[in-house]
Amino acid sequence: MALIGKNEMIEALARLGERALQRGEAVEIIVLGGSAMMLALDARPSTRDVDVVLLSPEPAKLRETASVVAAEKGWPADWLNDAAKGYLVGQSDGPMIFSAPGIHARRPSF
């Protein structure tokens, strides 16, 4: 997969929120790793995927919505990746790093 730049990630997350709203849902995620560094700190120019913890809607629905966004962008269906959740102990509500209609994204607290 090609690298995802900050603007592309913002567009994809906003589209994810739009699609969720069309289904009567709202997306709540915690963004991790390089993606969080991009959104919160401008600390890197790109990433290969967006590592997240999926809070709502239920993961199966969110993955389905993410796969629609992936198809629109020509990306792999797993561009929104929740595999990193296994490295977390507990859940933290850090500051909001991205918000658009239908989606709120936080980073972990430090």
Give 47-92 pLDDT, tens digit per residue. 889 999 999 999 999 999 999 999 999 999 899 998 887 777 666 6
* Nearest residue to 103 via CA among 74, 72, 80: 80
CA dihedral 104, 105, 109, 110 (to 10 degrees): -160
Q: Which two tokens stand for residue 79?
A: 């561009």
Give 39-56 pLDDT, tens digit per residue. 988 788 888 899 999 999
What pLDDT is recorded for position 85? 76
What pLDDT is recorded for position 22? 94
Q: How far apart are the C-alpha atoms of 39 and 12, rounded to whole Å?
A: 13
What pLDDT is recorded for position 1? 60
Give 12-37 pLDDT, tens digit per residue. 999 999 999 999 999 999 999 889 99
What pLDDT is recorded for position 7? 93
Q: Sign of the CA dihedral 61, 96, 17, 50?
A: negative
Residues sharing a CB contact under 8 Å with residue 101, sequence separation 6 or more, in sequence order: 14, 17, 18, 21
CATH of 4-82+94-106, one of 3.90.70, 3.30.460, 1.10.10, 3.90.25: 3.30.460
Give 90-99 pLDDT, tens digit per residue. 666 789 999 9
Q: Which two tokens stand for residue 105?
A: 């994204």
- Give the pTM: 0.91
Higher-confidence residue of 2 and 41: namely: 41
Ranges of each domain in the chain: 4-82+94-106
